Amino acid sequence: MIGYVSKINDRDLERLDKDGQLRNYAATHDIGKLGIERYYEDVLHGKTGYEEVEVNNRGRVIRQLHEQPPSAGKDVYLTLDLNLQRYIEQLLVGSRAAVVVSDPRTGGILAMVSNPSYDPNLFVDGISNKDYQGLLNDPNRPLINRATQGVYPPASTVKPYIAVSALSAGVITKNTVVFDPGWWQLPGSEKRFRDWKKWGHGRLNVTKALEESADTYFYQVAYDMGIDRLSTWLTKFGYGEYTGIDSFRRAFRPDANARLEIQTLQETVVSGRHHSGGHRPGLLDRYADPDVQGAEHPD
């Protein structure tokens, strides 16, 4: 998540030149490569100072034409709770899992843990081929950030959004009843999808279906909505949209040719955005000039 800095390579030089930033890196050999270090590189890096002078044919300085003093980069403060982050890391030791915790009042990310992970310092001075191959071939896939790159079925967390979507679209009412025998069968198919409760929940309206987390009720309601209408409504809640979180912006959209899958990070955003008063989720709390008291908060 924090990422790392490493030596500037040819790809970095090409990008800096394209962005008109190459001159600002004349006095440094390092640049943010991943995560927060890369996303806030412009804020952290500062401005390189320089002096323009006029010289004679012997190389002696005649006069100063222009001087641009250097300016230090800003300090970046994150919303992360270090104690909470460490606590979750300890809980996940030996597991393949991801946990994201946000403050629903502000949208700030308090913890983001993916396990197993790796030491980003291995990349700072250039990782050896042996170490890189070890990470690449590790069956636990530590290079994959399960919080931001892994995608998983949302399971029961999507049920409230299907319910609200179906009610809003008029597909069901609060009194619509579906009988649950313990399975649901897709029309035209012999395959049966089992409910978690072997013998079913019996007669269900939407309230009872949510209370008991009845799988088959929402299978039927989702089928009645149809993939296009369901996708449109779920998008309104944040499914399939960019997370808006600094340095982690990918998202996955449900469609007719793919299963509905979601990032752990995006699931946190979807569930928290309706309780944050419209605050944009993010990792940045504030940044400040190291030589000046006070802090500048992001918009």
Tell me the C-alpha distance between 215 and 195, whole Å: 5
Whether residue 156 lies in the annotated active site: yes
Tell me the C-alpha distance between 183 and 219, whole Å: 10
Cβ 80 vs Cβ 89: under 8 Å: no
Q: What is the token pair recorded at 193?
A: 């999808």
- Active-site residue (options: 95, 128, 156, 168): 156
Is it true that the peptide bond before 298 is cis, omega within 30 degrees of 0? no
Q: How far apart are the first and last CA of the chain?
A: 22
**Which residues sit opposite 150 in a β-bridge?**
none
User: Hey, which residues are catalytic here?
Assistant: 156
